[in-house]
Chains A and B, each alone.
Chain A
Amino acid sequence: MTTVLRLKDASFTYAGATGPALSALSLEVRRGEVVALAGVPGSGTSTLLLVAGGYAPRLVGGAITGERELSAHQPAIVFATPWTQLTGLCHTVFAEVAFGPASHGLERERIRAIVLRQLHRLGVPHLEGRDPATLSGGELQRVIVASALALEPDLLLLDDPAAELDPAAADDLYDLLKDVAADGAAVLVATPDTARAARAATRAIMLDAGRIVADGTPAEVFA
């Protein structure tokens, strides 16, 4: 099955909100795609990520209508605020990245291999023994992305994943997203950095007030 996400006329309203955050959205995302989501704050990009991963309404409350088919076995999400995604239970970066696969009961050696691979991919193997609480914003963001990738997701959702990164590291991250998609995952990345996203993405979607107003190639949508 190549489709990992299918939405048809899906609307989502947060609890206590006066209007929907997403309105009658229809969308299909397949493995191998890198989809860039753009829109002003409040346009629904972050909400779409939560809905796409099955985290809304399950964890954040609210109500969803329309059709939603989540075929991803393992979604993973990276928020725009990496410091809020630390488990608070791990005193080394290694343990932090291992947390996800450890929660799935994988064997120790397999987890070790996964963690080291992801730390290398994000260019932070030297942070292995560091306390996550002492990392800079950029280091933390890369560790959180590594943590998400350690789950070996088939749907990777990222909300402004390079916000804290310096330009070189941001370029590396977007190149990595291309690799992740090439390995067979679907990638949805919400970002204000449309220039960088355009280089990595195979597809771009523009949201406005919870609706899709453009869906095409990055060149078409971000023109």
Chain B
Amino acid sequence: MSGLEVRWDGVSHRYDGEDVVRDVTLHIAPGESVALLGPNGAGKTTLTRMLMGLVRPRAGAVHVGDWDVATRRPDQMAARVGYAFQHADQQLFARTVRGDVGFGPRRLGRGDAGVDDVLAELGLEGAAERHPYDLPAPVRKLVTLAGVFAMQPAVLMLDEPTAGFDRGLRARVVEAVRRRNAGGVTVIVVSHDLEFVATVARREVTLERGRVVKQGSGVGDQGPGS
């Protein structure tokens, strides 16, 4: 599946009386891979939640391709954006790993077709018939990532996808993300894992206190962004 453009245009949001996102404009081209960086509380998670319609900006607009997110529900956005939450293993419910990974694709009307491929890609084929809660926490997290990949989204939005992973698991995730980006999928990651970011992202956008303060590629900074 090829990627879509993602646009935040002049978005702002307040939470509990505090500005968490201040007039942010950010465009990500189709097939681009971007990392959102910045300290905790910079507004990264709020921006990403806007993509799914989980948070509606107080001002501005968010678009994924030709879709205005304001006119869509989160379950509709799932057809275009694969969102991996940071503490994702709260969503596991099926009796088997295969069953859970297939949930998203089945919801989208795609059936179980690509599920076994994704399981193999992430090294989970041996755990396919096991109950997710019998697996160690890092493997459960890998299962939820598999679920996101299996939905074959045009945009991948990954929040701390490698937290808690050792090198082996991290390598599997890096490969899976790079493969999809090479295939044209737009990739957005929020991560403190600078090694992961350097390997996967071609552009880094740094946020601080709700604003974009820096944008750069791996080659060198391009100065303050808007």
- Mask of A112-141 contacts with B, CB within 8 angstroms, 1/0: 000000000000000000000000111100
Kindly list chain A residues whose C-beta atoms are within 8 Å of the C-beta of B139: 41-42
Q: Which residue of A lies closest to B138 (CB)?
A: A41
Given contacts A80-B164, A164-B163, contact A41 B169 (CB under 8 A): yes
Q: Which residue of B lies closest to A139 (CB)?
A: B40
Kindly list chain A residues whose C-beta atoms are within 8 Å of the C-beta of B168: 40
- Mask of A152-177 contacts with B, CB within 8 angstroms, 1/0: 00000000100111110000000000
CB under 8 Å from chain A, chain B span 21-74: 39-41
Asked whether A57 is an interface residue with its Cβ less than 8 Å from the other chain, the reply is no
For residue A168, give the distance in angstroms from its CB to the closest CB of chain B. Answer: 10
Decide: B137 and A81 in contact? CB cutoff 8 A. yes
Decide: B40 and A137 in contact? CB cutoff 8 A. yes
Q: Count the B residues whose beta carbon is within 8 Å of the partner chain — how many?
A: 20
Kindly list chain B residues whose C-beta atoms are within 8 Å of the C-beta of A136: 40-41
Tell which of B39, B40, B166 touches A41, judged by Cβ atoms closer than 8 Å: B166
For residue B136, give the distance in angstroms from its CB to the closest CB of chain A. Answer: 5
Asked whether B133 is an interface residue with its Cβ less than 8 Å from the other chain, the reply is no
- Mask of B130-167 contacts with A, CB within 8 angstroms, 1/0: 00000011110000000000000000000010011111
Decide: A137 and B137 in contact? CB cutoff 8 A. no
Q: Which residue of A lies closest to B142 (CB)?
A: A41
CA distance A69 to B58 in the complex (A): 60
Asked whether B86 is an interface residue with its Cβ less than 8 Å from the other chain, the reply is yes
Asked whether A184 is an interface residue with its Cβ less than 8 Å from the other chain, the reply is no
For residue B25, give the distance in angstroms from its CB to the closest CB of chain A. Answer: 25
The binding surface of chain B is classed by DSSP as loop
For residue B36, give the distance in angstroms from its CB to the closest CB of chain A. Answer: 13
Kindly list chain B residues whose C-beta atoms are within 8 Å of the C-beta of A41: 136, 138-139, 166, 169
Kindly list chain A residues whose C-beta atoms are within 8 Å of the C-beta of B192: 138, 164-167
Asked whether A54 is an interface residue with its Cβ less than 8 Å from the other chain, the reply is no
Q: Which residue of A lies closest to B192 (CB)?
A: A166
For residue B103, give the distance in angstroms from its CB to the closest CB of chain A. Answer: 23
CB under 8 Å from chain B, chain A span 34-55: 38, 40-42, 46
Asked whether A192 is an interface residue with its Cβ less than 8 Å from the other chain, the reply is yes
Decide: B39 and A166 in contact? CB cutoff 8 A. yes
For residue A213, give the distance in angstroms from its CB to the closest CB of chain B. Answer: 15
Given contacts A41-B136, A167-B194, contact A160 B164 (CB under 8 A): yes
For residue A221, give the distance in angstroms from its CB to the closest CB of chain B. Answer: 14
The binding surface of chain A is classed by DSSP as loop
CA distance A38 to B167 in the complex (A): 11
Decide: A80 and B165 in contact? CB cutoff 8 A. no
CA distance A110 to B87 in the complex (A): 36
Kindly list chain A residues whose C-beta atoms are within 8 Å of the C-beta of B41: 136
Decide: A138 and B138 in contact? CB cutoff 8 A. no
For residue A131, give the distance in angstroms from its CB to the closest CB of chain B. Answer: 12
For residue A125, give the distance in angstroms from its CB to the closest CB of chain B. Answer: 16
Kindly list chain A residues whose C-beta atoms are within 8 Å of the C-beta of B137: 80-81
- Mask of B163-191 contacts with A, CB within 8 angstroms, 1/0: 11111111000000000000000000000
Kindly list chain A residues whose C-beta atoms are within 8 Å of the C-beta of B164: 80, 160, 163, 192
For residue A46, give the distance in angstroms from its CB to the closest CB of chain B. Answer: 8
CA distance A167 to B137 in the complex (A): 22
CA distance A163 to B137 in the complex (A): 13
Given contacts A167-B192, A167-B194, contact A192 B167 (CB under 8 A): yes
CA distance A40 to B164 in the complex (A): 11
For residue A119, give the distance in angstroms from its CB to the closest CB of chain B. Answer: 17
Having A137-B163, A138-B192, A164-B163, one finds 6 other A-B pairs with CB under 8 Å, namely A38-B166, A41-B169, A83-B87, A136-B41, A137-B160, A138-B40
- A sample of 11 cross-chain residue pairs with beta-carbon separation below 8 angstroms, ordered by A number, consists of A40-B166, A41-B138, A41-B139, A41-B166, A42-B139, A80-B164, A136-B40, A139-B40, A165-B192, A166-B192, A167-B194
